[in-house]
Amino acid sequence: MRHTISVLVENKFGVLARVAGMISGRGFNIDSLNVAPTHDASLSRITIVLNGDEAALDLCIKQLRKLVNVVECTDFKEGQAVARELVLVKVAADSKSRSDIIQVADIFRAKIINMSPDSLIIEVIGDEDKVSACLGLLEPFGIQELARTGRLALKR
């Protein structure tokens, strides 16, 4: 089962390594990991997506809460959070396919953020299903490069 965990930590050297090490030490594989400062420069938010069973996850969260620099740890249940993902995708675009690619981007409210004679870079923001559907429609045109943030989430 997939779980999204939000960990608010003190913005100090080594905290991320301790959090990631504790999670991997519990046998979890991290699907995605995002870290960034919050509105308070002394705090950072770590958003982690993991696969695992409930019993192991409960133990993992209890261990996270015991770490010195952890301020708050939340496991978001289904529907408790607003979650989004950001993808930058570079798609091959010749003069014949360019309008079709732009049409796909428009359908998903994606933004064209760079144009070159032979490619387009598109920014897609949304939930995981929206991003995957957009990438599925762009795939036939030829995806040259892809950068994906993974899930970011905040409690409703």
Q: Point out the domain boundary residue: 76, 107, 129.
A: 76
Mean pLDDT of 87-116: 96
Mean pLDDT of 19-38: 88
Same domain membership, residue 122 and residue 88: yes
- Phi and psi for 137 in degrees, rounded to 5? -80, -25
Mean pLDDT of 55-68: 88
Distance CA(71)–CA(7), nearest Å, equals: 8
Same domain membership, residue 47 and residue 99: no
6 pLDDT tier (thresholds 50, 70, 90): very high
Domain of residue 15, CATH code: 3.30.70.260
pLDDT computed for residue 98 by the predictor: 96
Q: Which domain holds residue 23?
A: 2-76
Same domain membership, residue 143 and residue 98: yes
Residue 143 above 90 pLDDT?
yes
Same domain membership, residue 87 and residue 57: no
Residue 141 above 90 pLDDT?
yes
Burial grade of 134 (CB within 10 A; 0-12, 13-18, 19 or more): buried
91 pLDDT tier (thresholds 50, 70, 90): very high
Structural domain count, the chain: 2
Domain of residue 106, CATH code: 3.30.70.1150
Query: pLDDT averaged over the chain?
Result: 92
